[in-house]
């Protein structure tokens, strides 16, 4: 059903009858106007969820979503790092034009707390390279990072820096994008970690003059790494503990605010999914359902809560990576899952601890993560739509546009009539609340009754819908404020008169509705 409702009460075409007219003409009339029609089914009531149809045409509600989602950037970060070098001759000497007079290899470490990284693949990020030249001739400076490669080629940057002086060195800056590069952080000898190797080469301007360079004439090179985000890594990721409370929004429950629902059965899994090639342990301390409309909370009771869980590493690599999954099954027999969900939660909060490498560096520095790697807890809900309701309140909000000309047309009285063919085995009583542009209620139309439930057969199945009508009285007071209405809240009471008897819901269940008006109208011109 559309989220935008446009109600047009009347279009009146005014025309002039002549310039000599002295008095306004008016008359009273009655109108019967069709306004809208449509179909309301479970997909309209329970959004952001998937219904699976069983062989007998009953429905199961299927929902999946991550409560916990730790990607590699959550586990450790590459800090913004500045590598600063001063390169100079070891002796004083005359440097002719076009001469390579400095060639220097340096190593510097990234400060990656708790981790010893050998290789990184860069998803995004870059560096700003700044060179300061105090020498009295221009210099071609080449910076090469031998361990930083893309498509088999080292990252190498050459820049020309004009002549400068000790008092006023010439400066040149260049931004370099590291996206898609692989960084070897094992150093020049291949036995280090977190270490980047740099090669600097300085060549005097071939079109310049011979200059005298001393060992005090240092060319300063600064490489400022910024926002480096990896998507691949190899090394030892450290012994780290992650403790937090994470939340998942159950959008499909947000429209149910209060009342009683009895769920016949439910099956839920918490799947701990380890896509890192690293040993881990975990503890789920608590899982809480929260109804934010009324502040009600229900804690889950289950034997796994508070217990240490051993989590194996993922297997494979790159496209063959297969996460390790530790499933925790939660059902009506081993938990209080029914009361947990009968709280009508629109949020779940999980309190947890995860630890990677609890035994230390048992992989010998061969922990891995890949672009698709994550340490996550997935909520997987599979619930038969078999339940009973007692005054279960459902709300939804729709945009509203109403156009009328009160100078020429005024509604004096009348009613809106809602008729429907209802397959659901529940009565539906819906009041309408009109809101202004600030979201404040300005008026309410109360239903005269309910759309009556479909009648189940001896198997509990509704084969034919039940037709019924309800009305909403409209008067002049309502019409005086209705132009201010910008949205409408449907406040519906879904009620099973045979509660607590539970019924299955079938894939063809719906309410086919029509809305029409009977109004008294005063027209003047």
Return the pLDDT at 35. Answer: 64
User: Do 359 and 215 reside in the same domain of the chain?
Assistant: no
Q: Which tens digit of pLDDT belongs to each residue from 471-513?
A: 998 877 777 777 788 888 888 999 999 999 999 999 999 999 8
Bridge partners (DSSP) listed for residue 150: 153
Listed in order, strand segments (DSSP E) in 237-320 are 240-249, 256-263, 267-274, 280-291, 296-299, 309-311
Is the pLDDT at 47 greater than 70? The verdict is no
> What's the structural domain count of the chain?
3
- Domain contains 52: yes
Pairing of strands 511-524, 267-274: unpaired
User: Do 227 and 259 reside in the same domain of the chain?
Assistant: no
Q: Which tens digit of pLDDT belongs to each residue from 373-414?
A: 999 999 999 999 998 999 998 888 877 766 655 555 555 667
Separation of alpha carbons 401 and 482, rounded Å: 10
User: Do 437 and 493 reside in the same domain of the chain?
Assistant: yes
42 or 158: whose pLDDT is higher? 158
User: Do 247 and 348 reside in the same domain of the chain?
Assistant: yes
- Domain contains 68: no
Q: Which tens digit of pLDDT belongs to each residue from 422-479?
A: 999 999 999 988 898 898 999 899 999 999 999 999 999 999 999 999 999 887 777 7
Residue closest to 392 by CA, chosen among 276, 507, 500: 500
User: Do 185 and 96 reside in the same domain of the chain?
Assistant: yes
Return the pLDDT at 16. Answer: 27
Return the pLDDT at 489. Answer: 86
User: Do 293 and 413 reside in the same domain of the chain?
Assistant: no
Q: What is the mean pLDDT of residues 5-10?
A: 38
Tokens 């062989």 identify what position? 55
Q: What is the mean pLDDT of residues 55-69?
A: 94
Distance, CA of 179 to chain centre: 24
User: Do 407 and 455 reside in the same domain of the chain?
Assistant: yes
* Structure tokens belonging to residue 109: 């470490």
User: Do 476 and 491 reside in the same domain of the chain?
Assistant: yes
Residue closest to 308 by CA, chosen among 273, 354, 242, 349: 354
DSSP 94-139: EE-TT-EEEEEEEEEE---TT-EEEEEEEEEEEEEEEEEE-SSS-E
- Domain contains 502: yes
Is the pLDDT at 112 greater than 90? The verdict is no
Q: Which of 338, 362, 384 is the last residue of a domain?
A: 384
């Amino acid at each position: 059903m559309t989220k935008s409702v446009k109600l047009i009460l009347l279009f009146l075409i005014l025309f002039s009858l002549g310039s000599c007219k002295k008095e306004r003409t008016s008359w009273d009339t009655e109108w019967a106007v069709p306004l809208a029609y449509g179909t309301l089914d479970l997909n309209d009531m329970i959004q952001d969820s998937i219904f699976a149809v069983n062989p007998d045409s009953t429905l199961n509600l299927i929902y999946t979503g991550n409560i916990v989602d730790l990607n590699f950037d959550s586990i450790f970060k590459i800090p913004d790092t500045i590598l600063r070098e001063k390169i100079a001759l070891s002796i004083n000497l005359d440097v002719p034009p076009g001469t390579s007079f400095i060639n220097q290899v340096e190593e510097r470490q990234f400060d990656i707390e708790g981790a010893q990284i050998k290789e990184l693949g860069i998803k995004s990020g870059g560096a700003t390279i700044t060179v300061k030249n105090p020498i009295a001739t221009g210099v071609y400076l080449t910076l090469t990072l031998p361990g930083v490669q893309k498509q088999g080629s080292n990252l190498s940057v050459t820049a020309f820096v004009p002549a400068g002086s000790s008092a006023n060195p010439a400066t040149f800056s260049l931004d370099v994008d590291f996206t898609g590069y692989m960084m070897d952080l094992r150093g020049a000898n291949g036995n280090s970690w977190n270490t980047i190797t740099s090669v600097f080469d300085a060549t005097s301007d071939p079109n310049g003059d011979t200059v005298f360079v001393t060992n005090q004439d240092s060319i300063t090179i600064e490489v400022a790494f910024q926002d480096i985000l990896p998507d691949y890594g190899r090394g030892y990721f450290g012994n780290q503990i992650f403790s937090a409370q994470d939340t998942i929004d159950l959008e499909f429950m947000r429209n149910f605010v209060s009342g009683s629902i009895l769920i016949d059965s439910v099956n839920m899994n918490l799947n701990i999914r380890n896509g890192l090639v690293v040993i881990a342990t975990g503890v789920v301390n608590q899982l809480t359902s929260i109804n934010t409309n009324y502040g009600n909370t229900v804690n889950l009771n289950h034997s796994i809560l508070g217990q240490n869980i051993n989590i194996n590493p993922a297997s494979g690599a790159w496209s063959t990576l297969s996460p390790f999954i530790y499933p925790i099954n939660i059902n009506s027999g081993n938990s209080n899952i029914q009361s947990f969900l009968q709280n009508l939660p629109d949020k779940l909060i999980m309190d947890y601890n995860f630890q990677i490498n609890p035994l230390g560096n048992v992989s010998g520095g061969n922990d891995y993560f890949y672009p698709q790697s994550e340490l996550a807890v997935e909520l997987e809900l599979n619930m038969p739509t078999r339940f009973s309701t007692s005054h279960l309140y459902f709300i939804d909000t729709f945009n509203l546009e109403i156009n009328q000309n009160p100078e020429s047309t005024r509604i004096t009285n009348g009613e809106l009539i809602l008729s429907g063919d209802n397959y659901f085995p529940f009565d539906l009583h819906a009041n309408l609340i009109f809101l202004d542009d600030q979201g404040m209620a300005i008026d309410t139309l109360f239903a005269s009754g309910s759309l009556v439930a479909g009648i189940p057969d001896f198997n509990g199945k509704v084969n034919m819908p039940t037709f019924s009508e309800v009305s909403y009285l409209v008067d002049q007071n309502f019409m005086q404020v209705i132009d201010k209405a910008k949205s409408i809240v449907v406040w519906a009471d879904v009620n099973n008169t045979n509660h607590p008897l539970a019924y299955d819901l079938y894939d063809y269940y719906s309410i086919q509705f029509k809305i029409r008006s009977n109004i008294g109208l005063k027209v003047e011109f």
